Every structure is written in C-alpha cells, then in structure tokens.
C-alpha cells in the first residue's frame, strides 16, 4: 500500500480530464439513441432498422476499443485520445456540412461515433496508471463516471432537433468536443508508470496471449452484461418510451436521462463498494438483482408508473457493476491494463450491440421487446454462475497476492 490518501496518490488534473474526455465522448457516442424516434419518422425506418442504427456505434466502439487498447500501450494514452478526438470532430463536421439522408449515411455516422465510444480504452488507463492498487476502484469509478455523458445526449439532442433539425444536432455536438479537446491537450499527462515498450508484433501477440487467458474471457462476459446492458438500454430507451408508451421524443429523452443518470452516478460508488467488500461479492449481488429486474421488465404490465422505476433501478444496478468490474481488472492484469481495457471494453460493446439490436428485432418479429429483456436476464444469471465458479480460485491465487485489497 502507498500510505497516501486518494487525492495525494495520483495526478488530479489528468483524472478530471479523463472524466471530462470520457463524458463528452460518451455523449457523442450515444447521440443517435435520443434522435432515433425523430430520425426513424423522417426516414421511415422499421423497428429492426431503428435498433440496428442505434447499435452500430456500440459495435464500432467495441471493435475500435481493441485498437485503442493497443495504442495506449504503444504510443501513450494522451496521443491515442487526441487522435480519436480529431477523427470524431472531423467526421461529425463533414456529416453536418453535407447532411445525412439515408440509413447508409446513418451507419457511416455510427462508425465515426464509434471512435468516441473507443475513448473508454483511453480514459480508464489514463486514470488507472496514476493510482496504486488500493485506490483503483475509486480512480476507475471517477473516470468511468463519464458514462453520464449519455444524460446530456438524452436531455438536449431531442430539444435541439425539434428547434433546428436533427442533422444540425451533429454540428452542435462539435462545440463541447472542441472545448474539451483543447483542455485535454493542455492538462493531461501520461503516468510515468508505463509498461515496457514493445514492438507491434509483440503487442499483437499480447492480445492473443490475453485471449489465451480464461480470466480475460470471464471479464469480457462480466462487462458484456453490466456495461452492455447499460449502453444498450441507454440507446434503446428513447425508442421504447416513444413506441410503447407513446411519449414524445423530448419527454422520452427526459425519462431516459434520469435512468442513465442513475447508472452513471453510482459507478464510482460501485468501485468504492468493491474496494470495501470486494469486487466478487459486489458483482454477485449486481447480477442477482439485475436478473430479477430485467425479468420483471419483460413480464410487467406496460405503464410508465410500473416501468420507469424498473428501468431506473436496473440502470443503477448495472452502473454499480461497471465500477466493480474495473476494480478487479487492474488487480488481475495490472501490467496489461491497456490490452485488457480494450478486450473488456470490446466485450461490453458487443453486449450493448446485442441488446440494442435484439430489442429492435424482438419488436419487429413479435410486436414486443419483452423477449429481448428476458434473454438478457438469462445472460445475467449466466454471468453469476461463471463468477461463482471462479471466485474461489481467484481469491486463493492472484487475489491472495495483493496486500490490503479485497477482491
């Protein structure tokens, strides 16, 4: 243990900017979700096409997180984050200038937004490498609280779209992106505690080596449920509220923002709780509660009074789980945190893509999204079973070697 307090043990400006960078990136990454009801009406999209449109940025972000996981170890976190921000700023600027008027154009925009989603694999190592093991949960929780950017997308995107048109929302998004980029370049510093330099072939080999670790696959599954559920619902709830309850896009945005805020606010508390009682115990509770809530969402009568509290509760539960997963990852893979953040983030993105697209398909095939929620509840139970199967081995092997930290 370092013996220093949390705020003394790291680099505060970098931690704050890791949060702000992730926050704005997350806002942009989830931009299509709140706009989906308006875009779908304008372009006459089917339920499946709506679900796919919302899911594309999630899948693109998942794949690009693997690239960023490689780059943060190869060229540093600051440079990697700067490259991603420039691509998003230029891409959105082009889309706004020329306009988007087709599903194919939306898919192209979704891929560009995926670069914003890949910020996850930069922001978390940027914060993590400044802090010792006993403060990992809190540091990763604060940086990861950038999930709250989805709140801004849900609150303001429908309002701006109603006033100026949804294409112009892409232009408005450039304003905070540019401001945060400037602050990022001025304030962010890479930690001196970096892994040894490797060649490109060594980095590629490290990915395959990590994929040969059974624990890496478990973490990908665990985050696929917690973060996948969070981001999948973030993008899908505006569609659900407008389609099932007949809410306006603006009111659906307010309801979605409240649910997303719950999941974002509790993420650092999830990390802190995992520091206190252990990540394994915290995640076990998360998966049990999430499975029950998702099953209830699938089976409950459809009304705002019933469904909103359920969505609010499940988003908060998944937010706690997000913090708990990343209390454990740096303990198990501290020297491969860049690669593992990319892999685990990929798992989370795939989970989000699956949930968002499956809800759209379920709606189109059955007339209701209930089946999609029920299947995801089963996935939460599978994650719980997997965690139960490995917890004894984890606590008696690598967990036992970490002094002063509960897993």
pLDDT tens, N- to C-terminus, the chain (407 residues): 455 666 666 678 888 898 999 999 999 999 999 999 999 999 999 999 999 999 999 999 989 988 887 788 788 889 999 999 999 999 999 999 999 999 999 999 999 999 999 998 888 888 877 777 666 667 777 877 777 888 999 999 999 999 999 999 999 999 999 999 999 999 999 877 777 766 778 878 888 888 999 999 999 999 999 999 999 999 999 999 999 999 999 999 999 999 999 988 888 788 889 888 989 999 999 999 999 999 999 999 999 999 999 999 999 999 999 989 988 888 888 777 767 877 888 899 899 999 999 999 999 999 999 999 999 999 999 999 999 999 889 988 887 777 666 78
Contact between residue 324 and residue 282 where contact means Cβ atoms under 8 Å apart: yes
The structure's pTM equals 0.86
Contact between residue 265 and residue 144 where contact means Cβ atoms under 8 Å apart: no
Question: What are the structural domains, with CATH classification, of the chain?
Answer: 13-189+199-396 (1.20.1250.20)
Closest by CA position to 289, among listed 320, 327, 261, 328: 320
CB contact set of 294 (below 8 Å; sequence gap of 6+): 229, 314, 373, 374, 376, 377, 380
b/e map of 132-153 (b: 16 or more CB within 10 Å)? bbbbbbbbbbbbbbbbbbbbbb
CA 25/CA 289 separation, integer angstroms: 29
CA 320/CA 272 separation, integer angstroms: 9
CA 32/CA 235 separation, integer angstroms: 7
pLDDT of residue 125: 82
Q: Is the dihedral of CA 250, 367, 101, 152 positive or negative?
A: positive
The gap from C-alpha 101 to its chain's centroid, in whole angstroms, comes to 28
CA 35/CA 28 separation, integer angstroms: 12
């Amino acid at each position: 243990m370092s013996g220093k307090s949390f705020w003394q043990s790291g680099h505060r400006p970098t931690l704050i900017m890791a949060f702000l960078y992730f926050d704005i990136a997350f806002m942009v990454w989830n931009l299509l979700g709140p706009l989906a009801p308006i875009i779908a009406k304008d372009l006459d999209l089917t339920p499946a096409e709506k679900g796919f449109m919302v899911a594309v940025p999630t899948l693109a972000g998942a794949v690009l997180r693997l690239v960023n996981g490689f780059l943060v170890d190869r060229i540093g976190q600051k440079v990697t984050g700067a490259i991603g921000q420039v691509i998003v700023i230029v891409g959105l600027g082009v889309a706004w200038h020329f306009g988007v008027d087709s599903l194919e154009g939306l898919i192209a925009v979704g891929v560009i937004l995926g670069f914003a989603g890949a910020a996850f694999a930069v922001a978390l190592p940027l914060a993590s490498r400044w802090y010792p093991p006993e403060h990992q949960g809190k540091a990763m929780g604060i940086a990861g609280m950038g999930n709250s950017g989805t709140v801004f997308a849900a609150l303001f995107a429908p309002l701006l779209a109603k006033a100026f048109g949804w294409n112009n929302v892409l232009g408005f998004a450039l304003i905070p992106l540019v401001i945060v980029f400037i602050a990022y370049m001025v304030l962010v510093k890479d930690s001196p505690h970096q892994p040894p330099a490797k060649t490109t072939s060594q980095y590629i080999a490290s990915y395959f080596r990590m994929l040969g670790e059974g624990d890496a696959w478990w973490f990908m599954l665990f985050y696929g449920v917690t973060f996948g559920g969070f981001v999948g619902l973030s993008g899908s709830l505006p569609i659900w509220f407008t389609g099932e309850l007949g809410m306006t896009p603006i009111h659906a945005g307010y309801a979605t923002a409240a649910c997303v805020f719950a999941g974002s606010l509790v993420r650092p508390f999830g990390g802190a709780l995992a520091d206190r009682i252990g990540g394994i115990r915290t995640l076990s509770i998360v998966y049990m509660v999430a499975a029950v809530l998702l099953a209830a969402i699938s089976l409950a009568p459809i009304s705002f009074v019933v469904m909103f509290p359920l969505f609010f509760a499940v988003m908060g539960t998944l937010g706690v789980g997000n913090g708990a997963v990343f209390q454990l990852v740096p303990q198990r893979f501290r020297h491969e945190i860049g690669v593992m953040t990319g892999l685990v983030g990929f798992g989370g993105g795939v989970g989000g893509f699956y949930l968002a697209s499956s809800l759209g398909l379920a709606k189109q095939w059955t007339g209701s999204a209930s089946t999609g929620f029920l299947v995801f509840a089963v996935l939460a139970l599978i994650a719980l079973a997997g965690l139960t199967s490995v917890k004894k081995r984890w606590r008696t092997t690598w967990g036992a070697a970490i002094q002063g930290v509960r897993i």
